[in-house]
Amino acid sequence: MKPIRKLAFVINEDKTGAVELARTLMAIAKESGAKLKLTTRFPVTPGFLKGFDACCVIGGDGTLLGVAREAVREQVPIIGVNRGSLGFLTTFSADEARAHFADVLAGGFKVEKRSMLECSTGRGAHDLALNDVLIKDEVNSRLVRLEVVADNELVTDYYCDGLIFSTPTGSTAYNLSAGGPLVHPAAEVIAMTPICPHTLSNRSIIFRENVKLRVFNRTITSRLLVALDGQRNLKVGIGSPVEISISKLKLPLAQRLDYSHFSVVRAKLKWNGGAAEAPKSGV
């Protein structure tokens, strides 16, 4: 990749060690001659990343999600440095960032393009999500009846606490907690997982890349809440469907050259099982 000459920093001051780490990385960036910009506010304001080569986010996955919409619109790669807990998106550890930041600034990184969901709840009410779109009752965690239509074909009615529509990137988030599948981030699909469905045979469904999904509220006494990445909400008009599809925009996410998705999954989910021994010839 090209060297990074203009670098923005987004720092979550509430994360232990984030400010100190930022000082170290900014000193490395200054030594490389990069022009710097800094904020501790997220979501970032529109235009914050305009004209920059990359954005270094120091915090947790929630911090990165607060930058994702602006980064995807400006097509600015995000370098995620984890000072949170799991950190599926902020894949650089603090030690890795300190050791390799100069190499990254010199162009020693690769960029993965991550799918995002486009969600609309009516005229003028639309937004993007990197992880997931959650549809549930607006006030209570009570059962709602949600009708799902894919490309004008009825899928089924779900009587459940809600539905999670997840990108492959977001499959390790709320989708996983609700019993949904892990999906490789390069897959061009949408995973739909019901939350506590009343019918035990209701399971996750994987939809193809260019599917157009519509969700109708069939519980007359309920108003719906549509939450994007657990950070922003869209209101749903009475009788209006929630429309979900894969956006044409993809988020550029910077990774180390030796980045391995399954290595990250094994580490974050603490999969401790060793590889099975290969059978010997003739056995």
Q: How far apart are CA 241 and CA 62, in angstroms?
A: 28
Q: Encode pLDDT of 119-128 as tens digits.
A: 999 877 899 9
Q: Encode pLDDT of 41-96 as tens digits.
A: 999 999 999 999 999 999 999 999 999 999 999 999 999 999 977 789 999 999 99
Residue 166 pLDDT level (bands cut at 50, 70, 90): very high
User: Is the same domain home to 74 and 146?
Assistant: no
Positions marked catalytic: 61
Q: Are strands 162-166 and 190-195 parallel, antiparallel or unpaired?
A: antiparallel
Q: What is the pLDDT of residue 190?
A: 98
Q: What is the pLDDT of residue 235?
A: 87
Number of domains in the chain: 2
Q: Is residue 59 part of a domain?
A: yes
Q: Is residue 240 part of a domain?
A: yes
User: Is the same domain home to 139 and 242?
Assistant: yes
What average pLDDT does this structure show over 222-235? 93
Q: Are strands 54-59 and 78-82 parallel, antiparallel or unpaired?
A: parallel
Residues of the domain holding 78: 6-109+256-268
Q: Is residue 283 part of a domain?
A: no
Q: Is residue 49 part of a domain?
A: yes
* 280 pLDDT more than 80: no
Q: What is the pLDDT of residue 274?
A: 56
SS3 157: strand
User: Is the same domain home to 91 and 128?
Assistant: no
* 111 pLDDT more than 70: yes
User: Is the same domain home to 237 and 136?
Assistant: yes
User: Is the same domain home to 49 and 94?
Assistant: yes
Question: Where residue 51 sits, what CATH number does that domain have?
Answer: 3.40.50.10330
User: Is the same domain home to 70 and 154?
Assistant: no
